[in-house]
Amino acid sequence: MRHTGKTAGEDVRMRGFAQRHTVDAALAWLDAQVTELHPLGTEILPLRSAAGRVLSAPVVSDVNVPGFDRATMDGYALMADSTEGATSYTRLPLTVIGDSMPGAPFDGLVSAGEAVRIMTGAPMPPGADAVLPAEWVEAEGMSEAKDKSPQRISALASVSPGKNVGRCGEDIYRGTTLLESGRALRPQDLGVLSSVGQGEVQALRRPRVRLAVTGNELLPSGTHPSGFHIADANGPMLSALIERDGGEVDFPGLVRDDPKAILEALQADADMVIVSGGSSVGIEDLAPMLVAQHGELAVHGIAMRPSSPTGLGRMGRRLVFLLPGNPVSSLCAYDFFAGRAIRALGGRSKEWPYRSMRGKLTRKISSPIGRLDYTRVKVDGDLVEPLSVGGASVLSSTTRADGFVIVGEESEGFASGSDVKVWLYA
């Protein structure tokens, strides 16, 4: 069932949630918004800055690679017929008439009984159709200049036409579509693009994400906790997750639990705003009320554990995600909702970027019908052990865990020995 923004926008501070949205309903609302907002636009990037970026248009080669026939081994370029019958016992003499080096081809024609010393990658000289490897050759005489080829060589073996020759266009033919639109560029992709003369790429613009971590009790990341204050853990974690998913993060610092400061963050020049903390029903949980007053709070309160106080909404064209302040809840809500939107708006797959495996539970996982549970687990071979941690503030449980198991809202959990799907953190 999809709940309306009107219900979600009610002030629930100190009253609790009258009802909670299902995860599926929240995802349905979110996917509809992403479809409306995508794409964000494109930009031209220099190749050196394009790793990980998503192509907005296919790339078609307008050249052959290589653009000429070339040697694939060091040796001697010649007519294959000139080596017919050659063995270590029946050596065939050849006259060396010059050299062909990478970038410096031999300027002449190879005839029967002649050879050109050639290095790997160098252009094949006209008339030559094969390369006789250097180890299959014996030099008979040397020119006076030490850097010149032997004037006479003997072939100790035969080669067939085309042997040890890389043909023009062997790697890439002119007119080939190298990379399709929507591809996230890998380092080797950049090498291929450079090989056809591409110095720039047209890529989808990355979603700009304003990160607002709230809480008067928080100290900046890297500050030693003291008194009744704690160091910010969500800022570094969420920043890294946003960048992992292709977002451009704007995190100028902590935001106090002050309506003016939070509203300023919600109205930032960004494609989406992620607020960490102040999303629940406490007296200082201001963000849901501000979103409802100045935009649309479509979802507030979700039937999941952890992350039940999560909120989703919009401020104009900006998507807004209200994540719980408890670190595990924040991680879980980000993965389910905010990360999905960042990936989709940036042209990536909206699905989780985690590998998965299957294994057998070492003990049961219990869950009530009607609620989705995110259970951290350790993996040993094909054995899956649920961690005995219930607290959403115990972030270290995610570092002890190898991944997590999802128990759907229609399930009461899994019995010991059940075969389950594990999503791996790495």
**Tens place of pLDDT for every residue, the chain, 426 residues?**
333 344 455 665 545 576 899 999 999 999 999 999 998 999 999 999 999 999 999 999 999 999 999 999 999 999 999 999 999 999 999 999 999 999 999 999 999 999 999 999 999 999 999 999 999 999 875 554 445 556 899 999 999 999 999 999 999 999 999 999 999 999 999 999 999 999 999 999 999 999 999 999 999 999 999 999 999 999 999 999 999 999 999 999 999 999 999 999 999 999 999 999 988 877 778 999 999 999 999 999 999 999 999 999 999 999 999 999 999 999 999 999 999 999 999 999 999 999 999 999 999 999 999 999 999 999 999 999 999 755 555 667 778 899 999 999 999 999 999 999 999 998
This prediction's pTM: 0.85
With beta carbons less than 8 A apart as the criterion, state whether 349 and 416 touch. Answer: no
pLDDT recorded at residue 16: 57
Give the model's pLDDT for residue 128. Answer: 98
Identify the CATH assignment for 5-41+205-345 out of 3.40.50.300, 2.60.40.10, 3.40.50.2300, 3.40.980.10: 3.40.980.10
Peptide bond preceding 126 in cis form (omega within 30 of 0): no
Max Cα-Cα span within the chain = 99
CATH architecture of 356-424: Beta Barrel (2.40)
pLDDT value at position 2? 38
Q: Are strands 70-71 and 59-60 parallel, antiparallel or unpaired?
A: unpaired
CATH homologous superfamily for the domain 70-166: Molybdopterin biosynthesis moea protein, domain 3. (2.170.190.11)
Closest by alpha carbon to 338, among 356, 326, 324?
A: 324
**Model pLDDT, residue 141:** 57
Angle between helices 287-294 and 259-266 (to 10 degrees): 60
The CATH topology of domain 44-65+170-204 is: Molybdopterin biosynthesis moea protein, domain 2 (3.90.105)
Query: What's the pLDDT score for residue 281?
Result: 73
Do residues 350 and 34 touch, judged by C-beta distance below 8 A?
A: yes
* Residues 115 and 78: beta-carbon distance below 8 Å: yes
Domain extents in the chain = 5-41+205-345, 44-65+170-204, 70-166, 356-424
Strand partners, 369: none
The encoded tokens of residue 227 equal: 């008194």
